[in-house]
Amino acid sequence: MSYETLLVEQRGAVTLIQLNRPQALNALSSTVMKELIDAFAKFEADDSQGAAVLTGAGEKAFAAGADIGEMADKPATEFFAQAFFDGWQKGIASVVRKPWIAAVNGFALGGGCELAMMADMIIASEKAKFGQPEIKLGVAPGMGGTQRLTRAIGKAKAMDLCLTGRMMDAVEAEKSGLVARILPAEGFVDAVVAIATEIAGMPRLAALLNKEMVNVAFETTLEQGLLYERRTWGILAATEDKAEGMKAFVEKRPAVWKGK
């Protein structure tokens, strides 16, 4: 299926999704949301695909936020009646089980920063800029910014960014714990796809469960989380890939994964 606001391609076992409204700095309209939900659902359903990369088309932006033009005249009651922002969480963040990376190539502001934070990791180009400038529009982050950013970088920095609306560069974002790695702008997307390819080549069930186990840390007490980890480890211990992985190590040869 071709999309109005996205470019989607498969590079081996990696689905590369590009937000493709560069003239509006890839602002997140409701069409972008619907199309992204569809693209992620197809990625999830396709057994040949093991990881995804989301990035922004054009030189300047990952996404400069929710589409302000679309929101400017919308009455508050309509945001509520249409469950305007719900799809981001219910259609993407909560449902994508395979690993995916946000490759932040430029501005990731407002909803753009929030979308990046839904990914399993953020890899930033040296040109990336992050911020939650919604206060300057008279509002606040609406798709996770106050919650995910605070969990990722702590109260001091999250308050600073939300209350001043200032941007932080890639180096500050990495130091703060928002970003996993910074890569050169030259060849950036190819380099992130190479990392995603490495992840896609991991035993599939182990990848799904490593992701799930880390995410559980944000939802539980330590005691419950540790119990969850031990129980889930038990599931992995029963897989054919566990038997193969350990056998291959002992035999000093590469493992051949079956995904079961």
Annotated active-site positions, please? 66, 111, 114, 134
Which contiguous run of DSSP H or E holds residue 254? none
| Contact by Cβ (8 Å): 53, 17 | yes
Among 58, 87, 91, 142, which residue interacts with ligand CO8 (rule: CB under 6 A)?
142
Q: Is residue 20 classed as helix, strand or coil in its secondary structure?
A: coil
| Separation of alpha carbons 211 and 93, rounded Å | 12
CB of 167 to ligand CO8, least distance (A): 8
* Helices 240-250, 204-216: crossing angle, 10 deg rounding: 110
- In the bound state with ligand CO8, the residue whose beta carbon lies nearer, of 133 and 245, is 133
The pair of three-digit structure tokens given for residue 147, joined into one six-digit string: 């919650």
Closest by alpha carbon to 178, among 150, 197, 159? Answer: 150
200 forms part of the interface with ligand CO8 (CB under 6 A): no
Q: Which of residues 54-93 bind ligand CO8 (CB under 6 A)?
A: 64-69, 85, 88
DSSP 68-123: HHHHHT--HHHHHHTTTTHHIIIIIITT--S-EEEEE-SEEETHHHHHHHHSSEEE
Interface segment toward ligand CO8; rule CB under 6 A; list 36-44, 50-58, 141-149, 224-232: 141-149
Interface segment toward ligand CO8; rule CB under 6 A; list 131-139, 185-193, 207-215, 229-237: 131-139
Among 6, 28, 96, 182, which residue interacts with ligand CO8 (rule: CB under 6 A)?
28
Among 8, 14, 16, 25, which residue interacts with ligand CO8 (rule: CB under 6 A)?
25
- In the bound state with ligand CO8, the residue whose beta carbon lies nearer, of 57 and 209, is 57
Contacts of 60 (CB under 8 A, 6+ apart): 22, 25, 106, 107
Among 137, 185, 208, 248, which residue interacts with ligand CO8 (rule: CB under 6 A)?
137
50 forms part of the interface with ligand CO8 (CB under 6 A): no
For binding to ligand CO8 (CB under 6 A), which residues are involved? 24-25, 27-28, 64-69, 85, 88, 107, 109-111, 133-134, 137, 141-143
